[in-house]
Structure 1
């Protein structure tokens, strides 16, 4: 069992890499070699520092982080997510990710909006212990689909005027999954705090199997010597009645959101990456550079990672 605390997702990530490399044991589920720690509690004291950045060893695609978070929050399992991460297709059955969190979060059993249910529960009883969102569904997840949720669920507690969030995971790929999962979960955390009109408290990430695949171990070791980013994203909120409309506007590329808000930064990040994928590299870089948020700088770093800029004078 490892217990780690940090004030940024980057610092938590590198501390977890070190702990797994030092304390992990070999496990080979599905004949894939991993170094694994069974039992991990990762505590993030500032959930707005949700961007993992440890260059040059670990640079993430912030546009995919945004896209996945909005995909989940909107309740979607639509294939547009592949536009931001085509590698997800390998987990699909007939083109659909059957373990997608969004429908389970917003339409459990076809009709229960768990996000709204928790919001109302905690508005009605501030110190309730029933603020639970369940994601793992045994009626679906034992059918043999390629995609089975790693996250079991979320729990929320209002204590001393602050919202504390706990996430439980049966499994976590530390290298590939953690940087994106913590972006989504802390965004949900912050939005829920806003709906409850309380301060944003600590975030707790509990993992049963925290692991590194063998082919990522060397890079994970290198990340221990990287420069940990600690950029703090601007506060983000949305009135509950406006959430779904706002999410759709961002996903549709509505340019009227150009107000410097975090939602504006989300939309610009998605538009930039779409331009990059379309081959409009200069336009993509300009959109990223003009994004007034740490997301813009992170996206420039991602583009530099994909296609390092040539030295001046080199053609």
Structure 2
């Protein structure tokens, strides 16, 4: 089944409509679900990767998952700072066995797959071999609480544009899909900038695209929110090699996690990356309940596409404060 839309919310609406109408008669390990077998998704504007809705507008956790990948880590402490539910997927209370970071950048302790595909695309622009493997045959030898749902990421450079196609064995349409598309299209744009190419289309192929029955009510609420604005995709990544900025922002993420007073201004990066750093600082302020400084940091963000997510943080705090005062 093909779903082709311009934005992540357009894709999500069409997929969830289909899944909510199907019977919840598939019962894998995590509970009953409805399922689309063999789904092909196409996001024609990969920068329209952030949901604009009230229920699925999760920019902070999506950024966290991306930086977790780029940090090359499978640390539970790292990702649970952004997404608490990961704690249920750890075998040992310290790591996530299926974490993508080591598989992208240090597969089997020796292979930087990300670097390999960049070099390959530079030397052989028409190659069909620029493939990153995430799921591994060894993942089935011993039972784990988390193994990769993603089989491969493939990059194809055509007519000066870098296209990407992801192959998934399984995808949770409500919880997992928005984060996956955000992270993978960001990786697509990072590779594009690393080889000096424009951004092409993004395709996402899933063997089992499913909705768990326990999330059906939330999915219906999402659908009832109606059509969201498509006017604010993420801005273009700067047309330069991105790795110096990525290393700087990864260090800043560690600094601001440990001290919410860490200064964004000292980073001296392009405003594209500075905006993401301000988002990380706003999250740190929120976690430390320093809400009075969030508005000041929000006013330093240059791109309007992020403001709605920060306003939601502020609104959530105001609503919580109102409930506490009332009681």
User: Fold conserved (TM > 0.5)?
Assistant: yes
Which whole-Å CA distance do the structure 2 matches of 1:307 and 1:207 have between them?
40
Instruction: Name the counterpart of 2:289.
Output: 279
Instruction: Name the counterpart of 1:234.
Output: 235
Instruction: Name the counterpart of 2:190.
Output: 191
Q: CA RMSD in A?
A: 2.3
Task: State the structure with bigger RCO (CA 8 A, min sep 6), 1 or 2.
Answer: 1
What SS class does the counterpart of residue 153 from structure 1 fall into? strand
The aligned runs of 1:269-308 (5 Å cut-off) are 269-293=279-303, 294-305=305-316, 308=319
How many residue pairs were aligned? 310
Instruction: Name the counterpart of 1:68.
Output: 65
The answer to whether the 8 Å contact 2:134/2:148 transfers is yes
- Relative to 1, partners in 2 of residues 1:262 and 1:196: Cα closer, same or farther, differing over 3 Å? same
Which whole-Å CA distance do the structure 1 matches of 2:167 and 2:52 have between them?
23
Instruction: Name the counterpart of 1:117.
Output: 116
Instruction: Name the counterpart of 1:248.
Output: 250
Instruction: Name the counterpart of 1:218.
Output: 217
Moved over 4 A (4+): none
What SS class does the counterpart of residue 123 from structure 1 fall into? helix
The answer to whether the 8 Å contact 2:7/2:44 transfers is yes
Which whole-Å CA distance do the structure 1 matches of 2:26 and 2:314 have between them?
34
5+ long unaligned stretches in structure 1: none
Which whole-Å CA distance do the structure 2 matches of 1:96 and 1:42 have between them?
31
5+ long unaligned stretches in structure 2: 257-262
Q: How far is 1:150 from its partner?
A: 1.0
The answer to whether the 8 Å contact 2:51/2:58 transfers is no
Q: How far is 1:205 from its partner?
A: 0.9
- Relative to 1, partners in 2 of residues 1:129 and 1:306: Cα closer, same or farther, differing over 3 Å? farther
Q: TM-score under structure 2 normalisation?
A: 0.87
Q: How far is 1:90 from its partner?
A: 0.7
Q: How far is 1:219 from its partner?
A: 2.3
